[in-house]
Structures are given as structure tokens and as C-alpha cells.
Amino acid sequence: MTVQMSPTDRELWSATVAGDAAAFAVLFDRYARAVYNHAFKLTGSWSLAEDVTQSAFLVAWRRRADARLVDGSALPWLLVITAYTARTESRSARRWLALLRRLPAERDTDADLSDEVAARVDDERRMRAILAAVRRLPQAEREAVALCVWSGVSYADAAAVLGISEAGLRSRVSRARARLARQLSHDTTEDQ
């Protein structure tokens, strides 16, 4: 009986840099879920997270020669690309919404909403509230929260991909958590 070892990210990325689309497909299968979850946490929208995920992997393919694997893992680099892609999508969405606001409003129609759609709307509402608090953080703290808290990247890996010390990253996460706790408790007391 032969046991096949799955290829490492480093092996797959070497093949990808050489143009092997099948190796990139294996990396996609391995990390698409993590990238998608990260994208949702950054955008607060399930559908926008799908778009960001697709765009992030497209950027990763185009910039495959520039990849920075951390301890042999492509995930931290992919998550940073996802964050940049989400910001770009957010800017585009703001421009698109500004254009739509100039159009005359359509009439509302009664639609039969399923429980799933209602749950998605509630998820997105809660995520928007969290994102509003996160957006008030300094950018360095937002990046630290997105990588370490939301996506579970280790402090060492996140520090390596961001080019800072692990202690500095831990400090950013700690400050961000404290600010978020204050902001969210303040927002909750204002709503009551």
C-alpha cells in the first residue's frame, strides 16, 4: 500500500510560478474557504465576499511570481491580497452607489422572503455594525484584527507577512480589542 503525501504549498507554488494551472487549482481548493470567510469579514456581504474571493485568486495568479510564503504556507499572502482586493471593491461599490443614488427610486414590491434570505440580511446587518467599529480603528490595527482574530493566522505568520515584529503585532491586536470593546459597548448603550 502506497501512501501519497499531498504536495506542500511551496511545491505547489513553484509549479504555479512555472504556469501550472492544475497546481494553482489545488491551492485554490485548499484555501478558497479561508479566503472567502476572510472576505466576508472584511466586507460584511456574502455576495461581495464571493466577488472578492474570485478577484483575490485572480490577482494571486497574476502576481504568482511575487508570492511571499510564510513558513511554507501561501495562506497569509492570500489573505493580504484579499484585504487589498476588498478595499478596492469597497471603493468601487461606493462609486457605484453614488451613481445609483442619482437615479430615480423604483417602487417597492412585496416579495416572498425565505428564512435563508432573512438570516443573510441579519448576518449582514450585524457584520456592518462590527465593520463600522473596525473601520474606526487605525489601519495597522484593522489589518492585525483581520489576519489574527478573524482569519486565525498565527501571530508569527501575520507579523512575517506584514513585515513587523511579533510583539508589535500582538500589541496592535491588544489595542484593537480594547478599542473595539469600548466602541461596541458605547454603540450599544446609545441604541438603548
What are the tens digits of pLDDT across the range 7-21?
999 999 999 999 999
pLDDT for position 3: 58
73 three-state secondary structure: strand
SS3 call for 70:
strand
**More confident call, 104 vs 26:** 26
Residue 167, domain member (yes or no): yes
CATH number at residue 71: 1.10.1740.10
Instruction: Inform me whether the pLDDT recorded for 97 exceeds 70.
Output: yes
Residues spanned by the domain of 59: 9-102+118-191
For the CA atoms of 115, 119, 122, 127, what is the dihedral angle to 10 degrees? -170
* 118-140 pLDDT per residue, tens: 778 788 887 887 888 888 999 99
Looking at the domain assignment, is residue 16 inside a domain?
yes
- 72 within some domain: yes
- What CA–CA distances, in Å, run from 192 to 54, 173, 184, 186? 40, 29, 13, 10
Section 143-151 average pLDDT: 89
Tell me whether residue 32 is in a domain. yes
| Residue 4 within a domain | no
Mean pLDDT computed over every residue of the chain: 87
Q: How many domains does the chain have?
A: 1
Quote the percentage of the chain above a pLDDT of 70. 90
Spatial CA neighbour of 85 closest among 114, 62, 119: 62
The segment with the largest mean pLDDT, out of 68-82, 84-98, 131-145, is 68-82
Q: What band does 110 get if pLDDT is binned at 50, 70 and 90?
A: very low
Rg for the chain, CA atoms, rounded: 19
Q: Is residue 89 included in any domain, yes or no?
A: yes
Any domain includes 2: no
Of the two residues 118 and 37, the one the predictor is more confident about is 37
Residue 23 confidence (pLDDT) above 90: yes
Whether 134 is in a domain gets the answer yes
